[in-house]
Amino acid sequence: MDINNEILNLDWKREPYGLYEPIEYTLAAGGKRVRPQLAMIASQLFGGKDEEVLPAALALEVFHNFTLLHDDVMDKADVRRGRPTVHVKWNENTAILSGDQMLIEAYKLLSGVPADKLPKVLQLFNKMATEICEGQQYDVDFESQEQVAIDEYLKMIRLKTSVLLANALQTGAYIAGADEPAQEVLYEFGIHIGLAFQIQDDILDVWGDPKTFGKAVGGDISCNKKTFVYLEAVRRLGDEAMRRKIKGDEARPATEAKSLEKWYSQVLEDNTEKIAAVKEIFEQLDVRTACEKVVEDYTRKALALLEQLPQNEATEQLRQLANKLNTRKD
């Protein structure tokens, strides 16, 4: 079953067009379709029927895109998947309302799973949806929070990013009849690849190719977002400052720390100079190498979890997808 075609075949030719056209526009933009793929593969891992898990897979993709519409408004992002975001192409009110409708449509799609599975599927879905909102709020809070610990950031991205991947896997496995221990293993697999995925996204926001990344490179720097890349830079500046203090040379790390703090306290119309300056600090501290190692570590832990599951074609698909996601350039 081609999950992309199933998504594109969803019918949005409805009135009022101002509500549904932005939904069609959003879903037609493509994307990796990771969440519905994970649900389908998890079901296949345990011999499930594609037609039984398909409603949940479609619901997850529509729900994911609903979160992106609202996220783009909150972040004032102009580009998504290489195209103007909905609030840019239309307006903020349209993005909010069409996003709200997508959330409703996700629940309508979800109701198509087998009736005996629906109560548990709804319970899992509601838990995931709540956690994503909690993660988004932490992300917003961090923008004005003077200091953010790396553990706090990991908690935030676990909620904002990882739980949706984990839910897709658990839901697919549950509908197919997998036992609870297997569902839990898949859930943890999803958490780990989600953490790796988001940190890789943070890396690409600084060093990605604008032609393939699909979003404006440097967007997180422009918005003063305290990403994993930024927090690793702060940590390294602290470590280096301590080392240089012992050696009697405090000037360089202190200067870089003040410069980073200065840039992250500013909201500018033109962020070209800011992005270049912050990127240079990151590169002087070799932050990219450190962050890529963390991505590799989470991916390795995720792959190790798969050894606890049945070994078949679906398991191999999960291995390939995990490696592809976390070595991607877009």
Please say whether the beta carbons of 206 and 219 come within 8 A.
Answer: no
Read off the pTM. Answer: 0.93
Phi, psi angles (nearest 5°) of residue 306: -65, -20
Please say whether the beta carbons of 170 and 187 come within 8 A.
Answer: yes
Token representation of residue 213:
């990344």
In this prediction, residue 329 carries a pLDDT of 78
Q: By C-alpha distance, which of 60, 37, 44, 48 is closest to 122?
A: 60
In this prediction, residue 246 carries a pLDDT of 46
Residue the block writes with tokens 């992005």: 275
51 lies in some domain: yes
| Domain region containing 176 | 3-325
- Minimum mean pLDDT range among 62-76, 121-135, 177-191, 201-215: 201-215
CATH number at residue 181: 1.10.600.10
Distances (CA, A) of 176 to 40, 116, 172, 184: 10, 12, 6, 14
Please say whether the beta carbons of 23 and 100 come within 8 A.
Answer: no
Per-residue pLDDT, averaged over 107-125, amounts to 98
Whether residue 250 has pLDDT greater than 70 = no
Report the C-alpha gap between 215 and 83 in whole angstroms: 8
Please write the tens of the pLDDT for every residue from 138-158: 999 998 898 999 999 999 999
Helix axes of 287-305 and 272-284: crossing angle, nearest 10 degrees: 70
Report the C-alpha gap between 316 and 47 in whole angstroms: 15
**Total number of domains in the chain:** 1
Token representation of residue 11:
């019918």
298 lies in some domain: yes
330 lies in some domain: no
Q: Which DSSP category does 224 fall into?
A: T
CA torsion through residues 142, 77, 214, 186, sign? positive
Please say whether the beta carbons of 31 and 81 come within 8 A.
Answer: yes
Q: What is the mean pLDDT of the chain?
A: 93
Burial of residue 65 (CB within 10 Å: 0-12, 13-18, 19+) is buried
Three-state SS at 79: strand
Report the C-alpha gap between 4 and 111 in whole angstroms: 20
Per-residue pLDDT, averaged over 326-330, amounts to 80
Please write the tens of the pLDDT for every residue from 185-215: 999 999 999 999 999 999 999 999 887 777 7
Whether residue 240 has pLDDT greater than 80 = no
